[in-house]
Amino acid sequence: MLSLDLTGKRAFVAGVADDNGYGWAIARALAGAGASVCVGTWPPVLGIFQRLREKGRLDFSLEQGGEWDIEKVYPLDALYDTLDDVPTELADDKRYRGVEKFSIQEVADALEADHGSPCIDVLVHSLANGPEVSKPLVETSRAGYLAALSASAYSLVSMVQRMGPLMRPGGAVVSLSYLAGERVIPGYGGGMSSAKSALEGDTRTLAYEAGRRYGIRVNTISAGPLASRAAKAIGSIGNLVEYYEQNAALPACNTADDVGRAAAFLCSPLAAAITGETLHVDMGYHAMGMIAGDQLTNE
């Protein structure tokens, strides 16, 4: 019998701030397959996340029963590659007060110090931000556009560049994309559609370069919409979910756990020959060329 077994593997999941999004669902699925899971959390929400964890307010249940826990939480701001890139004025930002070593390189160094090298088998990029996401692309500023690409696409390149050397051969990298990287999604603006296009293109190139250099695989999941706290920055997220439920090939919207399980598969030996792929986990919505209209039903 085939089994999805990640026992003895360590995963680092970047972009977990609560138990409501795709990052948490992926961490949960990896833990359910036996992996130990470390997470990277944005410094401004790190304190809140840690307090929720300490008070037992996060859902650590596993689908198959039992519970899991995070091996370690690292502060991570993927806008900054090294300490030298962190602006001095950030020291006066109360949201970062008391938080140190949160650039990508510093987190990589902390992982190596804590666990040795190599120490990572799975690297998950669940990071996206566009400060002008509510603006149409034609109204987006240069700064807003570049910020979206920096946070949502280049951060993957930087993470692979700095954490790839810590990964064991046969390891896997997974990121999260969205259909807006391929097609027009009105309301998904501010350069975020461009960032997702870049992410998918970089996935293919990194699959080759990191595959040859580090012996690892790189894939991305194009997930359907999820009404998470982070996604509420897109005012139409509820409408998107409803639209998918009405018009996807399977008339429903995927859940966070659907994406978590797909990510666990891509990170497992069962997917050893899959790299450079954009895997759609969206109930087949991406395959549709027009609205479904009258649904076909079994009679």
Cis-peptide into 118, omega within 30 deg: yes
Cβ-Cβ contacts under 8 Å for 264 (sequence gap 6 or more): 4, 6, 26, 29, 30, 32, 33
Strands (E), the chain: 10-14, 36-41, 72-75, 120-125, 167-177, 217-223, 278-281
Task: Report the SS3 class of residue 219.
Answer: strand
Q: Which of 54, 45, 52 is nearest to 102 (CA)?
A: 45
Largest separation between any pair of C-alpha atoms in the chain: 67
Residue 293 · residue 252 · CB < 8 Å: no
Buried b / exposed e over 6-35, threshold 16 CB at 10 Å, is beebbbbbbbbbbbbbbbbbbbbbbbbbbb
- Per the listing, tokens 């400060």 go with 131
Tokens of residue 178, six digits: 């969205």
Provide the annotated active-site residues: 178, 188
Sequential DSSP letters for 80-102 = -SSGGGS-GGGGG-GGGTT----
How far apart CA 74 and CA 182 sit, in angstroms, is 33
Q: How far apart are CA 271 and CA 280, in angstroms?
A: 15
CB 96 within 8 A of CB 89: no
Residue 273 has a CB neighbour count (10 Å cut-off) of 6
